[in-house]
Amino acid sequence: MDGLARSFMRVSIAALALGALPLATHADNYPSRPIRIIVPFAAGGPADVYARVIGQRLQGTMGQPVVIDNRPGAGSIIGTDAVAKAAADGYTLLLMSNTHTVNETLIPTKPYVLLRDFAPIAPINYSDLVLVVNPKVPARSLGELLQLARSQPGKLSYASSGPGTPYHMAGELFKAMAHVDILHVPYRGSSAARADVIGGQVDMMFDAVTTMAEQAKAGKVRPIGTSGRTRSTVLPATPTLAEAGVPGYEAVIWLGLMAPRGTSPAIVNRLNAEVQDITRRDDIREEWARQGAVPMAMSVEQFQHYVEDDIAKWARIVRISGAKAEQ
What does residue 2 show for φ and ψ, rounded to 5 degrees? -80, 175
Using the CB atoms, write b or e for 96-115: b if 16+ within 10 Å. Answer: bbbbbbbbbbbbeebebebb
- Greater confidence (320 vs 85) lies with 85
pLDDT for the residue numbered 325: 78
CB 35 within 8 A of CB 62: yes
Question: Cβ neighbours of residue 236 under 8 Å, at least 6 residues apart?
Answer: none
Rounded Cα distance, 189 and 186, in Å: 9
Q: Which helix (H) or strand (E) covers residue 186, if one does?
A: strand 183-186
Sequence ranges of the chain with CATH classification 3.40.190.150: 26-126+254-321
Q: How far is CA 316 from CA 102, 109, 197, 319, in A?
A: 10, 18, 29, 5
What does residue 131 show for φ and ψ, rounded to 5 degrees? -85, 120
pLDDT for the residue numbered 118: 98
Q: Supply angle C-alpha 205, 207, 209, rounded to 5.
A: 140
What does the pLDDT average to over 2-19?
A: 48
pLDDT for the residue numbered 269: 98
* Residues, the chain: 327
What does the pLDDT average to over 185-202?
A: 95
What does the pLDDT average to over 99-106?
A: 96
Please tell me the number of Cα atoms within 13 Å of 139 on its side-chain side.
22
pLDDT in tens, 113-137: 999 999 999 999 999 999 999 999 9
CB 319 within 8 A of CB 158: no
Q: Which of 8-17, 120-129, 256-265 has the lowest mean pLDDT?
A: 8-17
| pLDDT of 48 above 70 | yes
CB 133 within 8 A of CB 203: yes
Sequence ranges of the chain with CATH classification 3.40.190.10: 128-244
What does the pLDDT average to over 6-14?
A: 46
Please tell me the number of Cα atoms within 13 Å of 198 on its side-chain side.
17
Question: Cβ neighbours of residue 231 under 8 Å, at least 6 residues apart?
Answer: 238, 239, 240
Other beta carbons less than 10 A from residue 280's beta carbon = 11
Rounded Cα distance, 231 and 217, in Å: 16
| pLDDT of 29 above 60 | yes
pLDDT mean across residues, the chain: 92
Q: Which of 12-26, 151-165, 227-241 has the lowest mean pLDDT?
A: 12-26
One CATH from 3.40.640.10, 3.40.50.300, 1.10.10.10, 3.40.190.10 for 128-244: 3.40.190.10
pLDDT for the residue numbered 326: 58
Instruction: Identify the band that residue 20 occupies on the pLDDT scale cut at 50, 70 and 90.
Output: very low
| pLDDT of 243 above 50 | yes
pLDDT for the residue numbered 19: 52
pLDDT for the residue numbered 327: 44
pLDDT for the residue numbered 138: 97
Cα 327 → chain centroid: 20
- Greater confidence (6 vs 223) lies with 223
pLDDT for the residue numbered 189: 87
Q: How far is CA 292 from CA 24, 43, 72, in A?
A: 41, 19, 24
Please tell me the number of Cα atoms within 13 Å of 218 on its side-chain side.
7
pLDDT for the residue numbered 9: 46
pTM, whole model, 2 decimals?
Answer: 0.86
Cis peptide before 22 (omega within 30 of 0): no
- Greater confidence (8 vs 271) lies with 271
Rounded Cα distance, 262 and 214, in Å: 42
| pLDDT of 8 above 50 | no
pLDDT for the residue numbered 291: 95
One CATH from 3.30.2350.10, 3.40.190.150, 3.40.640.10, 3.40.50.300 for 26-126+254-321: 3.40.190.150
Instruction: Identify the band that residue 26 occupies on the pLDDT scale cut at 50, 70 and 90.
Output: low
pLDDT for the residue numbered 5: 45
pLDDT in tens, 279-321: 999 999 999 999 999 999 999 999 999 999 999 999 998 988 8
